[in-house]
């Protein structure tokens, strides 16, 4: 049987850009509805129980092509495909779908649901209400951040990994890469976060920098799809020296420009009909780069994020070579939610502000790779003040009863 070929990811956006799929000009997208199927605006009525009146909510249009693509990436064979239907008949898709469905079902029942319960019953009581979350050193991890912080409306993710493009199939282009290679790379990229709760930095250099899966966007769309969200739009942009977003017409333009802070904005709709936004920026946060990155500094200063989340952060913020981004976090945020790989306790103690600590789980010495970052004072505080039950594994000591989790709050 002839194997259908997967399009070159370097030409990934060309087909859909010709019909305005990722255009920042919404009027243009509306004019192209003869080529792209967009869902009609949905009107929902609900009753306000306090004022006993009917209000009308207008939901944004969803992009059917992007949502079908997200279902393809996540191997959802229960979805009714149209544009990509023939690819779902390939053995590679069927195999990936069957295998990943089993893995996800186990992950959802043994880990994700437990984290959801913790977030809803415990974590929410300790967090200051806010709409913005800052998650540096995140890679494509919208999965854990959106699960732990279900009330956040704007997630700002930053990592070294490239934004990437999208695997759009172009039948007119014949290349040697098959769809089988793509799903193999997706599987490989998912291994660490599903098994250990974090992305391995060394692995991501290969998993998210190859011709098939060329950046974080693939996994972000997969996670949004598997957690029952619908895509509104996807917009490439970069952050200029004034700290402003400069949107681009397509991902080819993003890849070709010589600019720092290449980024993507994803707007999506949750099952509860909430509109939320993810921005992912590919950039270096070490002092050598960040101190010179005036635009990113201005951009982050203007975000008004009250909560910073740090998980599996390679203990980078323990080091003097990351002073600038650490100082920005301590200055701008009112709560830091982290494991011990985030900001070292000593920096909170030295800060001009006073910080209060709430400990969960158990503090153990870091794994062998990071054993030099053991914090004796943190160990003492865990013993002195006691901890609350966590109930699931997180971070480098990822097994349940071995993981630590901290909520560190700036005193008012």
Domain-located, residue 377: no
Edge-first strand listing for the sheet containing 230-239:
245-247, 230-239, 262-269, 275-282, 154-159, 132-136, 307-310, 335-338, 404-410, 355-361
Q: C-alpha dihedral over 212, 213, 214, 215, to 10 degrees?
A: 170
Strands 307-310 and 275-282: what pairing? Answer: unpaired
Instruction: Confirm if 35 and 208 have CB atoms less than 8 A apart.
Output: no
Whole-angstrom Cα distance, residue 357 to residue 361?
13
Domain that holds residue 193: 9-108+136-305
pLDDT tens string, the chain, 412 residues long: the values are 333 444 433 343 334 433 334 444 444 443 333 333 334 444 444 455 555 556 667 889 999 999 999 999 999 999 999 988 888 888 889 999 999 999 899 888 888 999 999 999 999 999 999 999 999 999 999 999 999 999 999 999 999 999 998 765 443 332 335 678 888 888 887 876 565 544 445 555 555 666 678 889 999 999 999 999 999 999 999 999 999 999 998 888 898 899 999 999 999 999 999 999 999 999 999 999 999 999 999 999 999 899 999 998 899 999 999 999 999 999 999 999 999 999 999 999 999 999 999 999 999 999 888 999 999 999 999 999 889 999 888 877 766 578 999 999 999 7
Domain-located, residue 92: yes
pLDDT at 194: 60
- Which is nearest to 343 in space by CA: 327, 354, 365? 327
Domain-located, residue 324: no
Longest dimension (CA), the chain: 68
DSSP label of 63? B
Domain-located, residue 368: no
Residue bearing tokens 């003869």: 34
Domain-located, residue 374: no
Domain-located, residue 117: no
| Total tally of structural domains belonging to the chain | 1
Domain-located, residue 41: yes
CA atoms within 13 A of residue 306's CA, in its CB half-sphere: 13
Q: Distances from the Cα of 296 to the Cαs of 155, 177, 284, in angstroms? A: 16, 36, 10
Domain-located, residue 349: no
């Amino acid at each position: 049987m002839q194997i259908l070929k997967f399009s070159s990811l370097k030409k990934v956006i060309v087909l859909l850009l010709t019909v305005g799929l990722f255009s920042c000009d919404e009027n243009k997208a509306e004019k192209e509805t003869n080529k792209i199927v967009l869902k009609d605006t949905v009107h929902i009525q609900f009753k306000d129980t306090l004022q006993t009146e009917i209000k009308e909510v207008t939901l944004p249009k969803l992009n059917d092509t992007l949502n079908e693509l997200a279902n393809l990436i996540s191997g959802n064979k229960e979805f009714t495909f149209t544009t990509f239907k023939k690819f779902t008949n390939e053995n590679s898709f069927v195999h990936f779908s069957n295998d990943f469905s089993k893995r996800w079902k186990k992950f959802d029942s043994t880990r994700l649901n437990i984290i959801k319960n913790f977030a809803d019953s415990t974590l929410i009581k300790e967090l200051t209400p806010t709409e913005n979350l800052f998650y540096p050193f995140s890679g494509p991890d919208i999965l854990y951040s959106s699960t732990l912080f279900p009330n956040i409306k704007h997630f700002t993710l930053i990592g070294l990994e490239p934004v990437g493009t999208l695997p759009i199939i172009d039948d007119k282009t014949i290349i040697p890469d098959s769809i089988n290679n793509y799903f193999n790379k997706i599987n490989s990229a998912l291994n660490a976060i599903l098994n250990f709760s974090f992305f391995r930095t060394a692995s991501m250099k290969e998993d998210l920098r190859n011709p098939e899966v060329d950046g974080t966007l693939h996994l972000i769309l997969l996670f949004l799809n598997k957690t029952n969200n619908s895509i509104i739009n996807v917009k490439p942009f970069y952050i200029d020296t004034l700290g402003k977003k400069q949107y681009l017409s397509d991902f080819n333009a993003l890849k070709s420009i010589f600019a720092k802070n290449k980024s993507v904005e994803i707007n999506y709709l949750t099952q509860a009909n909430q509109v939320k936004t993810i921005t992912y920026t590919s950039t270096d946060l070490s002092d050598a780069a960040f101190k010179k990155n005036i635009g990113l500094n201005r951009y982050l200063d203007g975000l008004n994020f009250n909560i910073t989340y740090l998980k599996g952060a390679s203990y980078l913020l323990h080091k003097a070579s990351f002073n600038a981004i650490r100082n920005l976090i301590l200055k701008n945020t009112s709560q830091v939610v982290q494991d011990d790989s985030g900001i070292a306790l000593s920096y909170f103690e030295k800060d001009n502000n006073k910080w209060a600590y709430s400990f969960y789980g158990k503090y153990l010495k870091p794994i062998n790779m990071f054993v030099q970052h053991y914090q004796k004072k943190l160990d003492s505080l865990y013993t002195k003040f006691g901890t609350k039950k966590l109930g699931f594994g997180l971070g480098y000591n990822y097994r349940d009863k071995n993981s630590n989790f901290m909520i560190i709050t700036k005193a008012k």
